[in-house]
Chain A
């Protein structure tokens, strides 16, 4: 198990955004997370990556480390990387700087070497830059390396965010709606790149996605959230036929008696 949560809860005031979720994820799996808006998917990501503190009684374990109360930067050093729904691109930095800043946890030299500016530093910086340029050309952004990130198109931004998250060579990559707002062709292209990256770096993936086709086609297993609770888990085929899932998405099926009552009012 690379990621394990026990009784994970988070409430904002009276609202239980996440309510006692037990979640287990084996290595090398591609897990899809689906659920209606406001069901707690993104909150789950924020809890796992340490951006929110979870409520007392929760337990999160990542790759053998207890990360329940760890700050986000510490969790990142254990090899957990994530993207954000709203991208959070570094707008005023060049594309290559964006990707290189994702490399932070792997930077080999110490601060004082950098202050003194030894030759070693510049050699290592160049090696990092070369490696990151390779990554950029892999996702197809090498030509734009020196432009500002704010000058990229929507689809290119999604690719850049993906590259930045990969730069730290994570063990687990959590993608929050990677394909939101893309045209169908671009979605296919993006998913192809994600799969290639998974093979190349041996990643474990968690994907939140509203495009069900993507989830059903690419994921090995799917977890469904509703009202902060895990309501179903299993292979895509199992989840598709689950009554609780259909209810969460489409509403409850009524029998004749209930229907008559509802119409009478």
Chain B
């Protein structure tokens, strides 16, 4: 067991390969109908977005509320590339990631001057502008939406149903989470955190604040772009501007806040919980926004570090007690 632990420590990707294998067996063992695979795909898409949002909001502390706009950029890059050039998933995914990264730079530039709620307002405007631009542009098929975006196929095998597409979304999710983990656990993650806590002190400690802020925006935009492309190609392959409203943004925010801002597992836990709750409360669709708004407020009030921080705290106190023999409760 000790040896296994040290191998994982040195080669973390092995843990991700194990996770991949386990998740690959889930559909055939656990799932009873196709809808559950569809729901799982949605969870994976949300995990990718939330993991990216956690980088820029949770770690770097830049309050961005326009992330859903970047998600839309990813989706619509994939959609329009199919519509006009007939490109498939394997071509649209990398292009969507690059295009979204460029939009991420634009979204990040206000962060040089604005902070907190002011930055939130600026990025809210940015995100909404992107949606309105799509909704009113004939180039993007405006309110008709883009339909029949094809599912990917690999070596003659077509991932054309939800239970097959599951494998595509899962693979992208595993890779994205792996990247987010290695970024956040390295010195880059620490630099992000110091900027969140105190940009002036971070600068005095040798961290190039502007560079790292933009880097955080680019990274999270790339995550959103990848998620957007996966979402666009998801069967039945239909995207519409109404899928990228402020309501979706609130859901993404609720995921990161509930999971734990600045916790490495934050976005992932939150995405799983919120997506499932969202699905279960579908009959109460009138009250869904109320539920998520309340979730954000209550989490911030009673569990400021989210579920992730809550679990961490429990184990930390146990370890501290074992080490020093004293109770530490603050």
List residues of chain A with CB under 8 Å of any chain B CB.
49-51, 71-73, 76-77, 81-82, 84, 88-93, 97, 100-105, 107, 109, 111, 114-117, 119, 121-123, 125, 143, 146-147, 151, 164, 168
Contact in complex: A107, B187 (CB < 8 Å): yes
Contact in complex: B203, A117 (CB < 8 Å): no
Q: How far is the CB of A28 from chain B (nearest CB, A)?
A: 23
Contact in complex: B200, A51 (CB < 8 Å): yes
Complex A-B: 11 CB contacts under 8 Å: A76-B206, A88-B198, A93-B197, A97-B193, A101-B190, A104-B187, A111-B188, A114-B183, A114-B187, A143-B323, A164-B205
Contact in complex: A101, B204 (CB < 8 Å): no
Contact in complex: A117, B197 (CB < 8 Å): no
Binding stretch for chain A, among B5-13, B120-128, B158-166: B5-13
Say yes or no: A90-B193 contact (C-beta < 8 A), given A117-B12, A119-B10: yes
Given the complex of chains A and B, what is the CA–CA distance between A229 and B179 in angstroms?
53
Say yes or no: A49-B204 contact (C-beta < 8 A), given A88-B198, A114-B187: yes
Interface check B319, CB cutoff 8 A = yes
Contact in complex: B204, A72 (CB < 8 Å): yes
| Chain A residue at minimal CB-CB distance from B16 | A117
Contact in complex: B181, A117 (CB < 8 Å): yes
Interface check B316, CB cutoff 8 A = yes
| Chain B residue at minimal CB-CB distance from A49 | B204
Contact in complex: A122, B204 (CB < 8 Å): no
Interface check B138, CB cutoff 8 A = no
B interface SS class: helix
Contact in complex: A84, B187 (CB < 8 Å): no
| Chain B residue at minimal CB-CB distance from A149 | B197
In the bound complex, residues from chain B placing their C-beta under 8 Å from that of A81 are 204-205
Knowing that A50-B204, A114-B183 touch, tell me 13 more A-B residue pairs with CB under 8 angstroms. Answer: A51-B203, A76-B203, A81-B204, A89-B197, A97-B190, A104-B194, A114-B187, A117-B178, A117-B179, A117-B181, A117-B186, A122-B10, A143-B323
In the bound complex, residues from chain B placing their C-beta under 8 Å from that of A72 are 200, 203-204
Given the complex of chains A and B, what is the CA–CA distance between A168 and B201 in angstroms?
13
In the complex, number of A-B residue pairs with CB atoms less than 8 Å apart:
113
Chain B contributes a number of interface residues (CB within 8 A of A) equal to: 40
Contact in complex: B324, A90 (CB < 8 Å): no
Interface check B32, CB cutoff 8 A = no
Q: How far is the CB of A112 from chain B (nearest CB, A)?
A: 10
List residues of chain B with CB under 8 Å of any chain A CB.
9-13, 178-179, 181-183, 185-188, 190-191, 193-194, 196-198, 200-209, 215, 262, 316, 319-320, 323-324, 328, 330
In the bound complex, residues from chain B placing their C-beta under 8 Å from that of A121 are 182, 186
Q: How far is the CB of B61 from chain A (nearest CB, A)?
A: 9
Q: How far is the CB of A156 from chain B (nearest CB, A)?
A: 13
Given the complex of chains A and B, what is the CA–CA distance between A71 and B319 in angstroms?
42
| Chain A residue at minimal CB-CB distance from B203 | A72
Q: How far is the CB of B79 from chain A (nearest CB, A)?
A: 28
Contact in complex: A73, B209 (CB < 8 Å): yes
Contact in complex: A73, B320 (CB < 8 Å): no
Say yes or no: A114-B188 contact (C-beta < 8 A), given A88-B201, A92-B262: yes
In the bound complex, residues from chain A placing their C-beta under 8 Å from that of B191 are 101, 104
Say yes or no: A115-B206 contact (C-beta < 8 A), given A101-B193, A121-B186: no
Contact in complex: B190, A100 (CB < 8 Å): yes
Q: Give the 9 A-B CB pairs with smallest separation, nearest first.
A: A117-B182, A76-B206, A105-B206, A114-B186, A90-B197, A88-B201, A72-B203, A107-B187, A101-B194
Neighbour of B193 across the interface among A93, A103, A105, A119, CB < 8 A: A93
